[in-house]
Copies of this chain bind each other. A is one copy, B any other.
């Protein structure tokens, strides 16, 4: 889970809801046909562009980013974990790895294959294929959210045009003009909120997250290789150090 992403989503919606509830009932901001036109139209435009499977992968990836998870995020922790695994496998053999706690699903899967006796090359190849799949899916998923972020304001505008045309065609009751315009403008608001509070930031987030997770996975593939070779821990650290971000200088050495 990306904590700041979760907070950001919650904060954005909360702020807009508070602003809506100040000075009027929040009920005036609910309009089922308007929601239908914006959400339905956005889904329709996205279905033309992407297949059902691609859209589902995008939803799954956004859940994976937003849901709580205790997967290790820090590459230094992954190196420390690798050292533990390495020392265990060197002293007690590969099978002892089965009972160790590994807080990263991709890493866990690699260790399981190792314990099950898969060849080193097959493990590497299988995991690299999964990594390639992650990168492809992250790109497609970011594209799905970008498509939503582009379509939602467009359908917001279409909804507002439909509402304004209905209102202007029937001006018999002047008192109804204001509320009718308010309802017409709701779809523009819906479209802007979907795009700016959700879809466009998520598209950017998935792109960044995919790049970072892919780097962690490639590092784990090399870590598994080191474990299967029974490398010296220091050599393993040297092997993995290029994956680490550059670190700031120790202050005033």
Contact = CB atoms under 8 A, between A and B. Distances in A.
Interface of A: 2-5, 7-9, 11-12, 15-16, 18-20, 22-24, 28-29, 33, 36-37, 40-41, 43-52, 55, 109, 112-113, 116, 118, 126-127, 129-130, 132-133, 136, 147, 151, 154-155, 157-159, 161-162, 164-171, 175, 177-179, 181-182, 185-186, 188-189, 192-193, 195-197, 200-202, 204-205, 208, 245-249, 252-253
Given A15-B40, A129-B246, A45 B113 contact: no
B159 A19 contact: yes
A36 B51 CA distance: 33
A18 to B, nearest CB: 8
Given A246-B132, A252-B112, A162 B48 contact: no
A166 to B, nearest CB: 4
A143 to B, nearest CB: 9
Main secondary structure of the interface of A (DSSP, over half): helix
Contact of A185 (B16, B165, B178): B165
Nearest to A244: B129
Contact of A248 (B52, B133, B157, B253): B133
Contacts of A28: 165-166, 169
